[in-house]
Structure formats: C-alpha cells, structure tokens
Amino acid sequence: MPGDLPGPDRLTGLLSVLQLSDSAFPSGRYTLSYGLETLAQSGRLTMPSDPALLSALLRDQVRLSVGPSEGVGLACAHRATTGPESLELDLVSRADERLTAVKLSREARETSTRTGRALLRVATAALGTGALALYAQEVAARRSPGNHAVVLGVLSASLGVPRLESVAGELFAFAASWTAAAVRLALTDHGTAQAVLFDVRAALAAAARHAADKDIPDITSCTPLLDVMAMRHEETELRLFAS
C-alpha cells in the first residue's frame, strides 16, 4: 500500500544510515578485530571456529559491551544535537568522556578516538553541517575525545536520521566489521560469516532498542575476558589488527 512506503525524509535517513554503516566508508574499522585476534592467538578460538560459538560471542559482545557503551553514547550525542546547525556541547562532551572512561584498555580508547577522528574528517569535508563543525572544533581543541560513536551520533542527527535507526546502524556496522575480521583471521569463511550476521539480527535489534532511550550514566561495558584480551594484544609482537 502507498501508506506503507517510507516518506522522502525517512527514505533519505535510511540512505544515510546505509552510507555511514557501509564497510567502504573510510573510518578505519577494517583495522579492528575487537579482541578476536588475541582470542585466536591464545587458542580460545580455533580455525575454523564453530559458527554457534561465533554467534554467541558476537551476541554477548553486543549485549554487554557495544550496545550499552557505543550504542548509548551515540544515542546521547544524537539527543544533544538539536538541529543541523546546533547542539548542546556540554552534553556531547560528557557522553564522550563517559564513553572513554568505560574503555578499560589503552588500545580500545585509542582506536575509538582514531576512527572517530577519521570519521569526523571525512564527514566534515563531505557531509558537514554546522553542528558537526562545532563538535569538530571541540575535538580539535581536545576539549572532547572524539569517540567514533559520539561523532556518529552528532552526524546522524544532523542528517536527520532517527535515533533508533542511527543506533541500529552503528551496531550492525560493528557486527559486520567483527565478522569480516573473523574471516581475515581464518576463523570462518565468507558464507558462514553471513550466516552469523543473520543469526544475531534479533540481538542487534534488541540492543538498539535498549540503548536508544538511555542517558549518560547508562553508558557501561562489562566484558572482562575481552578487556583482558585487549590488554594482552597491546603486548604482542606480531599483529594483523590494531586491536
């Protein structure tokens, strides 16, 4: 029915989500393994790995870490962006600082801000709005860390992408990058990676819905094993990935 079709604004927002979550977007996600490299090196993951194990690991990472941290941080930054030309800088910076604080390993903090600043550079040049330019000034002056999820929250709100869709797009982009890293590490093949992505759809949707209405104090993360793996990754001599 015609009434079921997305309107022009909603369709434009959908296209923005697809662009920002595309693996071809040059933010540097391809450099990250999200702990998979160290899990493989430690023998906790075999080559190839059981697809059910990969799905369970990805679901837990989304539910316990990425959703409550990156997802909520993005939602807070999105809510603080009151229009294409304006945002509440204090709220954005508080969400940014909180997101940095819950990242226990140095690698996690550095990769989040490195990919965030890369996203900010590309977006300011190609898609820039007044709100994004204001936030870029804060990051350049080191008054705000510039975490990837916070940059994306400001950007997606500036582009008119609804908050829930913005969070869902970020969680999907994480999951797609995670499975791509698993393929590069020979933990699985391309076909099985797509099956894993399909298998975790409900977990991604639930995590997005849970994160979209949360506030700054709700930015949390609890994945002790992955935190330890990230800390060990810093010390390894041979690394394919930056984290």
The DSSP call for residue 3 is G
Span 212-231, pLDDT tens digits: 999 999 999 999 988 888 88
Residue 53 pLDDT class (50, 70, 90 cuts): very high
For every residue of 72-109, DSSP letters joined together read: HHHHHHHHH--BTTB--HHHHHHHHHHHHHT--SHHHH
Asked whether 107 and 234 are in contact (CB, 8 A), the reply is yes
Q: Tell whether the model's pLDDT for residue 73 goes beyond 70.
A: yes
User: Which residue type sits at 215?
Assistant: D
Backbone angles phi, psi at 83, to 5 degrees: 175, 170
Residue 128 pLDDT class (50, 70, 90 cuts): low
Give whole-number Cα distances, 79 to 61, 70, 145, 162, 164, in Å: 24, 14, 18, 10, 11
Q: Tell whether the model's pLDDT for residue 129 goes beyond 70.
A: no
Q: Tell whether the model's pLDDT for residue 184 goes beyond 90.
A: yes
Average pLDDT score, the chain: 88
**Domains along the sequence of the chain with CATH:** 32-233 (1.10.4190.10)
To the nearest 10 degrees (0 to 180), the angle between helices 190-199 and 201-212 is: 50
